[in-house]
Amino acid sequence: MTDTLHHVSTATADQLPQVHLPRNDGMDLDLDWVANVQANTSAIERRAATLPGRRSVKKTHQAAWLAKAITLIDLTTLAGDDTPGRVRRLCAKARQPVRADILDALGLPAITTGAVCVYHDMIETAVDALQGTNIPVAAVSTGFPAGLSPFHLRVKEIEESVAAGAAEIDIVISRRHVLTGNWQALYDEMREFRAACGEAHVKAILATGELGTLRNVAKASLVCMMAGADFIKTSTGKESVNATLPVSLTMIRAIRAFEARTGFKVGYKPAGGISKAKDSLVYLSLMKEELGNRWLQPDLFRFGASSLLGDIERQLEHHVTGAYSASYRHGIG
């Protein structure tokens, strides 16, 4: 399972997305498969509820895992009041997410976050601010967050974002296609989005909080993967319910089923609501348990989060000093 990533020594090289894996080409829409998908909510909730009690990571292991979590963060700002200055500050944090003295004390090399995630208008600023690193810029697109702008404009938005230098595009699906069971429409839409992305990798945001049932989440996950999504992602962060463990379990089981059928490894990105270091450990163990270690690398797993990093920094300092840390001791992003 493990691959060549393990011996790469430079921090930035660790985070090159999908350099070793074939991209998901997708497959024809298989409506029978979609129709037969089951997701038993109470059983999924039980598994999700007991997982934190079954897996525990302590001491040095915890510090290493938390550092790993940082490399998996899509450091994000998606606010109406974003300015170039704000985005540059975020990018600076992405380049150096943890104080150098803490990393030294841990014996870890320099690390960066997995990506920076912004709106279209901030792409150029971000790309510029991240010059000299391998940190990709991800852009939310396709009329994010509702995805209800004219279809041709949504496709155009992708093309413009890619042209502006975004290496990753986070698209939003049309929830109505899921809610009306129009899987063909969802598939076609996703196919077009993927095509518009070209070489840029595409993350399909399902907005799971608006899909009504876990069964719908599972079906939408499969259809998006059939249509060539490189990642599937829970939420825009703007829904009232964002990433949860049961939703995550449902989606990563779909990823596992898709890999078993096609051989393609598809990435997963929970977004929204993950703000504690401890939560990030649970997510990592969930990935490790259900999909294996390969999904603990940034080409297959990302956290969509903004405040998670701060909590991890405090935990790492605590690990080094033995004293609980304060937020102002760490640079803000």
| 63: contact with other proteins by CB under 8 A | yes
Task: Name which position in 61, 176, 278, 329 contacts other proteins (CB under 8 A).
Answer: 61
Quick one: CA torsion of 196, 165, 266, 57, rounded to 10 degrees? -160
Torsion over CA: 53, 276, 266, 32 (sign): positive
Give the range of 33-41, 137-145, 193-201, 301-309 binding other proteins by CB under 8 A: 33-41
Task: Name which position in 284, 308, 309, 312 contacts other proteins (CB under 8 A).
Answer: 284
| 195: contact with other proteins by CB under 8 A | no
| 106: contact with other proteins by CB under 8 A | yes
| 107: contact with other proteins by CB under 8 A | yes
Task: Name which position in 13, 19, 31, 43 contacts other proteins (CB under 8 A).
Answer: 43
Give the range of 77-85, 86-94, 107-115, 271-279 binding other proteins by CB under 8 A: 107-115
CA distance 244 to 261: 26
Strand ranges (E), the chain:
73-76, 115-118, 137-140, 168-172, 201-205, 231-233, 267-269, 303-305
Do the beta carbons of residue 303 and residue 70 sit within 8 Å? no
Nearest to 233 by CA among 124, 308, 138, 95: 138
Task: Name which position in 56, 83, 184, 327 contacts other proteins (CB under 8 A).
Answer: 56
* Tokens describing residue 51: 């997982």
Closest CB to other proteins among residues 1, 323: 1
| 322: contact with other proteins by CB under 8 A | no
Nearest to 203 by CA among 147, 143, 266: 266
Q: 269 an active-site residue?
A: yes
Binding mask 244-273 for other proteins (x = CB under 8 A): ---------x--x-----------------
| Binding residues among 209-228 for other proteins as defined by CB under 8 A | 213-215
Least gap, CB of 301 to other proteins (angstroms)? 11
CA distance 230 to 300: 9
Residue 301 is classified by DSSP as B
Least gap, CB of 110 to other proteins (angstroms)? 12
Least gap, CB of 330 to other proteins (angstroms)? 18
User: Residue for token digits 């090159």?
Assistant: 16
CA distance 265 to 317: 35
Closest CB to other proteins among residues 40, 149: 40
Backbone angles phi, psi at 177, to 5 degrees: -65, -35
Catalytic residue among 14, 68, 74, 170: 170
Q: 279 an active-site residue?
A: no
CA 308 to each of CA 61, 66, 287: distance values in angstroms, whole numbers, following the listed order: 19, 10, 18
Catalytic residue among 68, 203, 219, 269: 269
Backbone angles phi, psi at 201, to 5 degrees: -85, 145
Catalytic residue among 68, 203, 219, 233: 233
Least gap, CB of 178 to other proteins (angstroms)? 15
Do the beta carbons of residue 14 and residue 5 sit within 8 Å? yes
Residue 10 is classified by DSSP as S
Q: 278 an active-site residue?
A: no
Residue 205 is classified by DSSP as E
| Binding residues among 64-93 for other proteins as defined by CB under 8 A | 64-65, 67-68
Task: Name which position in 10, 40, 184, 321 contacts other proteins (CB under 8 A).
Answer: 40
Q: List residues near other proteins by CB under 8 A.
A: 6, 36, 38-47, 50, 53-61, 63-65, 67-68, 106-109, 213-215, 253, 256, 284-285, 288-289, 292-293, 296
